[in-house]
Amino acid sequence: MQKVILVGKPNVGKSSLFNRLARQRIAITSNVSGTTRDTNKAVVDIEGKECLLIDSGGLDDSSELFRNVKIKTLNEAKNSDAIIYMVDGKFMPDDEDRMMFYELSKLNIPIALVINKVDSKKDETRAWEFINFGVKDLFQISVSHNTGLDELTEWIAKHLKDDVLKADVSDDFDDFLEEFDDEGEFRADENFAEKNIKVGIIGRVNVGKSSLLNALVKDSRAVVSDVAGTTIDPVNEVYEHEGRIYEFVDTAGIRKRGKIEGIERYALNRTEKILEQTDIALLVLDSSEPLTELDERIAGLASKFNLGVIIVLNKWDKSEWEFDELCKEIKDRFKFLAYALIISVSALGGKRVHKLYGLIQEVYQNFTQKIQTSKLNEVVGEATKLHPIPREKGKSVKIYYAVQFGFAPPRIALVMNKPRALHFSYKRYLTNKLRESFSLSGTPVVLIPKNRGESDEDKE
């Protein structure tokens, strides 16, 4: 089985990235340098390709124990198919990292330099100092905020052999086509117009989530208190508004990881399980306070579960922000939620809360909409003419056609001759073109390149 190894000094975030890519908490993570001393391994799926992901011990010469860990790590790296060298973006590059990266580069194994903990513009500026490593493939990420990982996973997939889980990529295209009617439209079994709309209310402690729920359902359904963390169990409320049923869940407020105590740990786990079953997230921010890194991390949960998103700026009566100014700040910091709608409210006084129902309806319609195949292909065709897809190794990369194959959120298959060659930046370009042409505000859009089947060109 192909192997991908995470390498770097202690405490740069290797175990956190390992857990994220494995989609489960396998490796223990902490702020204590050298927590990982042996290698953790897990079989993971990277964009339809299976590989053995290895979380190595940190590269450290401070003791005999850690020198042995380093030797073991380097031996593992020599036998890997791809190397991810991680550094801490909170610090400037150092000679030790530069020399180790250079040594690993001489193995003639694909290697990427991954700068973790890039959480602000200041971090982004510092991260570009690592360009002096002479690296071709450099990625700026924040594992804790779940940003920059799409580009990294695409790089990993690109350097894994195509024959691994190849059937999952082509997906037996005949079976795929069976889901469409004679006019090429996807058969949707669910009638979204009649379903209850499931809305999760998320945010850090004491931002006013419970007050917002009470205002939405016009009842003191949730206990409201100035004591942070009052809500531990999720508060569910089914409410009818203008003939439509809404299922609201006020989730427990989320603290910084180091401040989560006792039963609140279980509350955090339940919050994630709730979001798995949610259509739309109301991300509540306290507009009377500056945005925090924890706000960004919680926003990452909405992105993680591909939810429709409305950002609710609560306590607006106490805010000193200008609305446009705060919206710009949010767009800059929550780039992964650029599609989200934003509204200001004062939940305790009930001001503007009623407008949320119209926004929820709008986002839900976009989240569950069916895009006509002919119009979809017209937009994709115009986009590729305006900005052709870059060639791969001198050969053209073609999108034969596009078709929506899923809902909540919209999932669109791009049927191509070389699906692996479609770069993440081009997918972002296509997504922006789709947003210009269709009503997609408030909802993510999932683009999945698919193989029409092996052609003569592919065999060359």
Residue 12 is assigned to a ligand binding site = yes
3-class SS of residue 385? helix
Residue 415 is assigned to a ligand binding site = no
Residue 174 is assigned to a ligand binding site = no
Residue 395 is assigned to a ligand binding site = no
Residue 226 is assigned to a ligand binding site = no
Residue 207 is assigned to a ligand binding site = yes
| Residue type present at position 335 | K
Residue 9 is assigned to a ligand binding site = yes
Please give the C-alpha separations between residue 415 and each of 27, 77, 121, in angstroms, as whole numbers. Answer: 37, 36, 37
Residue 252 is assigned to a ligand binding site = yes
Distance CA 391, CA 460 (A): 15
Residue 459 is assigned to a ligand binding site = no
Residue 15 is assigned to a ligand binding site = yes
Residue 57 is assigned to a ligand binding site = yes
Residue 110 is assigned to a ligand binding site = no
| Residue type present at position 276 | E
Distance CA 289, CA 282 (A): 18
Residue 262 is assigned to a ligand binding site = no
Residue 349 is assigned to a ligand binding site = no
- How far the first Cα of the chain sits from its last, in Å, is 25
Distance CA 193, CA 55 (A): 46
Residue 251 is assigned to a ligand binding site = yes
Residue 358 is assigned to a ligand binding site = no
Identify which of 233, 232, 226, 235 has the alpha carbon closest to the alpha carbon of residue 208.
226
Identify which of 24, 21, 30 has the alpha carbon closest to the alpha carbon of residue 257.
30
Residue 8 is assigned to a ligand binding site = yes
Residue 153 is assigned to a ligand binding site = no
Quickly list H helices, 55-188.
Answer: 64-78, 95-105, 121-127, 149-158, 166-170, 173-177
- Helix (H), strand (E) at residue 217: helix 209-217
Residue 203 is assigned to a ligand binding site = yes
Residue 254 is assigned to a ligand binding site = yes
Residue 132 is assigned to a ligand binding site = no
Residue 172 is assigned to a ligand binding site = no
**What are the residues whose beta carbons fall under 8 Å from the beta carbon of 389, sequence distance 6 or more?**
396, 397, 398, 399, 421, 422, 426
Residue 385 is assigned to a ligand binding site = no
Residue 284 is assigned to a ligand binding site = no
Identify which of 188, 105, 239 has the alpha carbon closest to the alpha carbon of residue 406.
188
Residue 198 is assigned to a ligand binding site = no
**What are the residues whose beta carbons fall under 8 Å from the beta carbon of 125, sequence distance 6 or more?**
none
Identify which of 78, 70, 81 has the alpha carbon closest to the alpha carbon of residue 4.
81
Residue 294 is assigned to a ligand binding site = no
Burial grade of 12 (CB within 10 A; 0-12, 13-18, 19 or more): buried
Residue 304 is assigned to a ligand binding site = no
Residue 117 is assigned to a ligand binding site = yes
Residue 315 is assigned to a ligand binding site = yes
Residue 119 is assigned to a ligand binding site = yes
Specify binding-site residues for GTP: 8-15, 55-59, 116-119, 203-210, 250-254, 314-317
Specify binding-site residues: 8-15, 55-59, 116-119, 203-210, 250-254, 314-317
